[in-house]
Structure 1
Amino acid sequence: MSGATANDGGKPTLLVVSGMSGSGKSVALKTFEDLGFYCVDNLPAELLGSFVRSVTEGDSAPRKLAVGIDVRNRHGDLASLPEWLSEVGTMGLDPKLVFFDTSNAVLLKRYADTRRRHPLSHLGLALADAIALERQVLKPLRALADVTIDTSDLNVHQLRRQVTTDLNLGLDASLSLLFESFAYRRGVPADADFVFDARVLPNPHWDPRLRPLSGRDRAVADYLDAQPDVIDYVAQVGGFLDHWLPRMRTDTRSYVTVAFGCTGGRHRSVYLAETLAAHARERDWPDVATYHRELD
C-alpha cells in the first residue's frame, strides 16, 4: 500500500477516486464529503478540467475536491486521464489519484450479498468475467495511483479510518458511529453492535405515492414524522443512544454500528438511520456516517 499527503504546500486539493466496483469508492466519497470536500461521483473524465475551473472560481470556492472516475466512464477516456490530471495541476491544484482494490473472491461475495448489478453487466458477461474485464481496463489507473487501498478485509468503519490515515486527512480519533439500514429478509448485519426493529412502525410501502421512494426522500420523511408511534420510537431510541454511546468510548474501541431493520430496507429503516445520525451530529459526535445496505 502506498501513501500520500492530501494537501501539499497549501494548494487546493483534488482527489480522483477510482478503483474496482464494489471496493468501497462510495464509502470513501461519503467520508471525504463528511470532511468538507466538494464531491462529485461518476464525472465524465473528459470534463475534469472544466469541472475544476467551474467550481474553483471566486473567493468562496472550495479548496478540497473529490471526484469519482471509474469503469462507468468510456474506456477511451480513461486512457487520457494522466493528461487531464496534468491539466488540473497547471491550474494550481494538487491532484492525487486514489485507487481502491479488492480481491475477486471478496467482490463476488459482496455482489452476491447486495444483489447489485455490475457496471459491465450490460455487455452480457457473467459476474466473474465482468470483474476480470474491469480489472484489465483499470490496470493503467492502478499503476498511476498515488495511493492504493486494498479493502478486502475492511468493514465500513475500518475503510473510513484507512482512507483518512493514508491521506493524512486528520479524522478525529474518538469513537466513530455508523448508522446502518437493512432488510430483515436478507439477514442482520454481522458487525452491528445495536439492532433496532422498525417493522412495528407504519409502513410507507403501502402508500402507492411513497412506494417508489426511499427513507431519504422528503415525502417519506414527512409521512413518518407525522406518525405518533414513529415520534415515540425516535425519542426512545435517541435517549437510549445518548445514555449508552458515551460509555462505549474506550482506548480499544474505535467504532460502533447502530443498525435499523425493516421488511424491505428501503423506507422505515433508512429514515431511522438518517434521523438518528442527524441526532448524533447535533450532539457533536465528530465522526458520524450512514450506510444503507439495500440502497448503497
Structure 2
Amino acid sequence: MSAMTEPTRHGEQQVDITAANGEDLGPTPELVIISGMSGAGRSTAAKCLEDLGWFVVDNLPPALIPTMVDLGARSQGNVARIAVVVDVRGRGFFDTLRESLADLEAHSVTRRVVFLEASDNALVQRFESVRRPHPLQGDGRIVDGIAAERDLLRELRGDADLVIDTSSLNVHELRAKMNAHFTGEDEPELRATVMSFGYKYGLPVDADHVVDCRFLPNPHWVPELRPHTGTSEEVAGYVFDQPGAKEFLDRYAELLQLVAAGYRREGKRYATVAVGCTGGKHRSVAMSERLARRLSDAGVETTVVHRDMGRE
C-alpha cells in the first residue's frame, strides 16, 4: 500500500496518496465494502451503487482491496468512489480481509462496510425458489450452509457500519434503502433510523440500540384506543400521560445524543434505534415518533419506520 500524506476522517477533505518513489497518485477514492449473507441481496446493493456512479468490483479477493484503492488514486479523480463485493465465493482469500482492512486503516483510507442480513427462513425460501445450493452447504442442507456462513461472517457483521435486514424487503425496497443512504453529494454526518416493532414478532436483527416500552400501560386494553395507532394524538397523549413516560423520553434522547456525538467522532454514519412494545402498534410507535423528533432537532437526519404497526 502506498503511503499517505496525512490522516483523514469522515466529512473531511480527501487526502492524496503518495507512492514510495514520491509520485503523487491523486486523491483517495471513497471505498465501500459490500458483504453479508448469500441470498440477502448483495448483488442488488452493488447494482444500486453502480447506478449511482460507483465503480463496482464483484467478488474481489480481499488481499487486492488496497491495490484497488491505489489504482483508483492513480486515475486522478476519474474513479472517486469504489464499491467492492466480498463474499464466501472467495473464502480461500477471506482470512486476509481483516489484514486488508487493517492496512487501509493504518494508511488512513476512509472505508465503510455494508452488511446484508436476512433470517434463516427468508434465505432458505430464496435458495429453494431459484433451486440453487448454498455455496457452503456441501453435502448437507441449505440450513447447514447458512449456519456455516453466519459463523464465518460474525465478526465482519459486528464491525459493519451499516447492517440492512432484507428478510421482508423486495428488490425495490432494498434499492430504496440503499438510495436513502448513498444518494446525494453532501452526505450528512450521521443518519439514524428509528424503528418501532412488536416483541411478539421478534427483535429487528439490524438494530444498534433497542428501547423497551413495555413498562408503560398498554393502550390495547383501552377499548376506545385499541383501533388506533401510536401516530394518533389520542394514543400518544395516553402514552405520555403515564408516569415515567416523559422522563424516559428525555433521558433516552439525551443518551442517544451523547452516543451520536461519539459516532461522529468515530466516523460511523448510520445507526438504527429499535423501539419495542408488545405488538408494535401503540406505545413503541408513539415513543418512536417523539424520539425521532428529538434526534432531528439535535441535527441527526432521522427516518421513522413502523415495522409492525399494520399487523393484526
TM-score by length of 1: 0.51
Deviation >6 Å, runs of 4+: none
Asked if structure 1 preserves the Cα contact closer than 8 Å seen for 2:72 and 2:80, the reply is no
Could you say which residue in structure 1 is the equivalent of 2:154? 139
Write the letter of the residue equivalent to 1:88: L
CA RMSD, aligned part only? 2.1
1:44 corresponds in structure 2 to 61
The whole-number CA distance in structure 2 between the counterparts of 1:53 and 1:66 is: 14
Aligned to 2:12: 9
**1:39-78 residue pairs with structure 2 within 5 A?**
39-74=56-91, 77-78=93-94
Amino acid across the alignment from 1:45: P
The structural deviation recorded for 1:125 is 2.0
Q: Go from structure 1 to structure 2 and tell me whether the alpha carbon gap of 1:10 and 1:168 turns closer, same or farther (over 3 Å shift).
A: farther
- One-letter code aligned to 2:103: E
Shift in Å at residue 117 of structure 1? 2.7
State the distance in 2 between where 1:169 and 1:7 align.
Answer: 16
Q: What residue is the counterpart of 2:48 in the other structure?
A: 31
Residue 8 of structure 1 contacts residue 94 of structure 1 at CA under 8 Å; is this kept in 2? no
- Per the alignment, in what secondary structure is the counterpart of residue 72 of structure 1? helix
Per-residue deviation, 1:91: 4.8
The 5 Å alignment of 1:281-296 reads: none
| TM-fit CA distance, 1:84 | 1.2
Q: Give the match for residue 110 of structure 2.
A: 94
Residues 39 and 66 of structure 1 are in contact (CA less than 8 Å); yes or no, is this contact kept in structure 2? yes
- 1:71·1:119 contact (CA, 8 Å) conserved in 2? yes
Q: Is residue 169 from structure 1 mapped to residue 183 from structure 2 by the alignment? A: yes
Q: How many pairs are equivalent?
A: 163
Match of 1:125 in 2: 140
Distance 1:37 1:10, change over 3 A: farther
- Cα distance in 2 for partners of 1:32, 1:111 equals 24
- Say which SS state the counterpart of residue 100 (structure 1) adopts: strand
Helix, strand or coil at the partner of 2:164: strand
Structure 2: state its 5+ residue gaps: 1-8, 15-28, 186-312
Question: Which structure has the greater CA radius of gyration?
Answer: 2
Higher relative contact order (CA 8 A, sep 6+): 1
Residues 7 and 13 in structure 1, CA contact (< 8 A), matched pair in contact too: no
Shift of 1:92: 5.2
Instruction: Give the Cα–Cα distance (whole angstroms) in 2 for the partners of residues 111 and 58 of structure 1.
Output: 39
Q: Deviation per CA, 1:3-46, whole angstroms, max 9, x where unpaired?
A: xxx96324331000000000000000000000000000111111
Could you tell me how far apart the structure 2 residues matched to 1:58 and 1:28 are? Answer: 24
Aligned partners of 2:184 and 2:173: how far apart in 1? 15
- Displacement, 1:90? 4.7
Distance 2:105 2:183 in 1: 20
The structure-2 alpha-carbon separation of the partners of 1:26 and 1:106, relative to structure 1 and needing over 3 Å to count, comes to same
State the percentage of identical aligned residues: 38
The aligned amino acid for 2:11 is D
> Does the 8 Å contact 2:46/2:56 carry over to 1?
yes
SS of alignment partner, residue 184 of structure 2: coil
Q: 1:7 and 1:24, CA in 2 relative to 1: closer, same or farther beyond 3 A?
A: farther
